[in-house]
Structure 1
Amino acid sequence: MSQEAGHGDYYVPAPSTYPMTGSIALLFMGFGAAFSVNKLQLGYGLLTIGFAILFYMMFVWFRTVAHESEGGKYNARVGQSFRWGMSWFIFSEVMFFAAFFGALFYMRVFSVPWLSDLDHKILWPDFINEWPTAGPGITEKFMPMGPWGLPAFNTLLLLTSGVTVTWAHWALKLNKRGQLKIGLFLTFMLGFIFIGCQAYEYGHAYSELNLKLSTGVYGASFYMLTGFHGFHVTVGSIMLFVIWCRVLSGHFTPENHFGFEGVAWYWHFVDVVWLGLFIFVYWLI
């Protein structure tokens, strides 16, 4: 039996099967990924089943949490735990990207100069200290992705989306539902447009600049950083779309709206990471 949350209590939900369902999904996905990298056809089917189960679990679990919130089962203590949980989650994401930015810094400032020292000329006589580089032993030529054009346009998109989500947040606090709906709609649409532009950029980089994952250390770091960020933008856009659907259903009040607030925190984090990418990956090449 679930415990109702009074003024000084903490809501404890009833036992749930959702963690077990998620574990089954991860089991299918793990075997599917292992079989797929070994080019076994069974792997793709297992991956599909795993993702389908995972999406189902997330949908029904998040729907349950939304109903509990709208049903008044969460008090201030529960809300505080949600805020701490989201804060630590975003901190873990900061550390995730910090590792990749750190790797990029290490390559540019330490590894490339070291490899170009005279002591290493026996192994790589033609390698010189310059960035961007594919690295020693890789002769394939490529062009780096410059900051202007699509990267600058994508920067404008994300900066604008940061303004629209803040505009929507203030509308929610002032109980202006119309402005809230418009602001949220504009925000997730800007996110999806960003993803479309990035997909086009990848096609351009692959076909016209010969910039691939196989073009050494620069190609790998470029796609790892921008690709993971693109994944985060995709997740954030889906989250904003879900929040927008909840707003259309009448959810959230000026006093109780952490579901919206947590997603807004995440979106601002995504914006800040992109600014770092634009400066250190695109601009300072």
Structure 2
Amino acid sequence: MRSPFHLVEMSPWPVFSSVGAVCVVVSLVNWFAGGSPWFVLCAVSVVMFVLFQWWRDIVRESDQGWHTSYVASNIRLGMVLFIGSEAFLFFSFFWAFFSCSLVPGVEVGGVWPPVGIIPVNPFGLPLLNTAVLLGSGVSVTWAHHAVMAGCRKEAVSALFVTVVMGLYFSFLQVCEYLECSFSVADSVYGSLFYVMTGFHGVHVLVGTVALFVGLLRCFGYGFSSSRHLGLEASIWYWHFVDVVWICLFLCVYWWGG
């Protein structure tokens, strides 16, 4: 009797993705220490290539019928656990932020923001970024309902709008970093600000890439009203990114500033 569970074949992509992730971290540290940014670009290119190959294999498995209802249920559970682990990652960042801001030490002047730090105006680019990301949450929900209703053209249009908004958000965040009056080396405030917003920015880029893959698959008739698990997982991830940004805007930009 055929098993309802898919036993995956040996794949080199987990090993290559681990090597690529290590190279990204090492190249970033080297860049921050005054090294060349080309190493960063090469490392990121390796990670993107591995992601493309890995997602290609998963799409092929789905097209071949290996993603049964049992497999799909486990994939959904895995995505929920992954988003939960990401939530705890950001929870640790917020814990550090409130630990330092509620009881500021003498090292930062006993006040928050620390002495000498001019925080970012929350009603400038951060507010615009909030509007952009919330708008992308609306458009991606529109795409989800369009796919479930079998309206492919509407789904493609909504996903395209979401991807554009994701790229626009990343562009605005780069502009914000260029205008900041402080750096990651300026006390614990600068470290926490850039780590929290930077990690969120990386999550936005990953979510944008995932939704772009979903857009290509939807454009090529890769989804149906009953089988669109890859797109559904990307939409869950994008909503998580939206929620984290709202917390960042309220706590770091508005209250913390």
Q: Calculate the TM-score normalised by the size of structure 1.
A: 0.81
Structure 2 residue aligned with 1:132, among 96, 113, 130?
113
Q: Structure 2 matches for 1:175-190, cutoff 5 A?
A: 175-190=150-165
Structure 2 residue aligned with 1:65, among 58, 61, 83?
58
Structure 2 residue aligned with 1:235, among 206, 209, 213?
206
Is 1:277 aligned to 2:248, yes or no?
yes
Q: Structure 2 matches for 1:149-164, cutoff 5 A?
A: 149-164=124-139
Higher relative contact order (CA 8 A, sep 6+): 2
For 2:198 and 2:10, the matched residues in 1 are separated by 37
After TM superposition, give the deviation of residue 183 of structure 1 in Å: 0.6
Deviations 1:153-191 (A, max 9, x none): 111001111100001100000000011001101111111
Is 1:9 aligned to 2:12, yes or no?
no
Quote the residue 1:120 is aligned against. none
In structure 2, relative to structure 1, the CA distance for the partners of 1:44 and 1:91 (3 Å cut) is same
After TM superposition, give the deviation of residue 71 of structure 1 in Å: 2.3
Any gaps of 5 or more consecutive residues in structure 2?
A: none
For 1:24 and 1:82, the matched residues in 2 are separated by 24
Aligned length in residues: 256
For 2:137 and 2:200, the matched residues in 1 are separated by 16
Instruction: Give the conservation status (yes or no) of the 8 Å contact 1:133–1:218.
Output: yes
For 2:23 and 2:151, the matched residues in 1 are separated by 45
After TM superposition, give the deviation of residue 72 of structure 1 in Å: 1.7
Deviations 1:30-79 (A, max 9, x none): 775676677677x965x655444433222112101101112222111000
For 1:272 and 1:105, the matched residues in 2 are separated by 18
For 1:130 and 1:77, the matched residues in 2 are separated by 54
Is 1:213 aligned to 2:184, yes or no?
yes
Quote the residue 1:86 is aligned against. 79
Structure 2 residue aligned with 1:167, among 125, 128, 142?
142
In structure 2, relative to structure 1, the CA distance for the partners of 1:26 and 1:147 (3 Å cut) is closer
Identity %: 34
In structure 2, relative to structure 1, the CA distance for the partners of 1:176 and 1:51 (3 Å cut) is same
Quote the residue 2:175 is aligned against. 200
Q: Give the RMSD, CA atoms, in angstroms.
A: 2.5
Which letter does structure 1 place at the counterpart of 2:93?
Answer: F
Which letter does structure 1 place at the counterpart of 2:59?
Answer: A
After TM superposition, give the deviation of residue 96 of structure 1 in Å: 0.6
Which letter does structure 2 place at the counterpart of 1:103?
Answer: A
Deviates more, 1:68-77 or 1:270-279: 68-77
Structure 2 residue aligned with 1:99, among 89, 92, 104?
92
Instruction: Give the conservation status (yes or no) of the 8 Å contact 1:22–1:57.
Output: yes
Q: Calculate the TM-score normalised by the size of structure 2.
A: 0.90
For 1:145 and 1:35, the matched residues in 2 are separated by 27
In structure 2, relative to structure 1, the CA distance for the partners of 1:187 and 1:34 (3 Å cut) is closer
